[in-house]
Amino acid sequence: MSGAKGLSRQQMADRLAREFQDGWIVNLGVGIPTLCSNTDIGDRDITYHSENGVIGYGGVAPEGTEDLNLVNAGGQNVTLKPGAAVVHHADSFGVIRGGHIDATVMGAYQVSMGGDFANWKLKGQKGGGIGGAMDLAACAKRVFIILEHVTRDGKPRLVTACDLPVTARGVVTLVATNFGLFEPTGSGFRLREIAPGLTVEEIRAVTGGTLTVADGLGTVAVGG
């Protein structure tokens, strides 16, 4: 791998947020997914949902303006958009289980070629809690994942088959990593857009399973 690191975490979130369509209700999970609410998506009306009961929130609150009682799923202080609501935890899950989430964006440790993902427990770890991930995976209309392309020791996170405890099988439709935008196809991963400064062969070398390239491969737009 060259010295290029690909996309920043905010750029990864920005790329997935550009998939959101006007009128969608989008759940943002812990970690990198929370950064999607910072993305400028123009005049599209997106309602951001957090499983802790904040519905219709905006970006992270600027320093000095935080309401300590108003947080997203990651515990970050956020702002509220006009029409927002803070509801009971049970009502928030009612929105999820009622099938009202158009897309959920979650982090993960691994994603497989078949669209399986693992995001709640590492190998050999005792305990652990799956939280709302299983409800979201089962009930959201679309499951998007954001994760770093490789582990700290350089092992692929996009794999032939997950070897960690699986959260859900066959549900992931789109994956953003710091190296690009990918679709699990069942028999591999299709690279739709590549991060600036990287080559297909560099990405193939650190991707588990088969990597194919979409016709008219694009480059992920960053900045501006």
- Known catalytic residues are 51
Distance CA 29, CA 38 (A): 14
Cα dihedral value 206, 195, 21, 80, nearest 10: 100
Q: Cβ–Cβ contacts within 10 Å for residue 187, how many?
A: 12
DSSP state of 96: H
Report helix, strand or coil for 123. coil
Query: Which residue is it, tokens 């904040």?
Result: 54
DSSP state of 34: G
SS3 per-residue string spanning 87-142? CCHHHHHHHHHCCCCCEEEEECCEEECCCCEECCCCCCCCCCCCCCHHHHHHHCCC
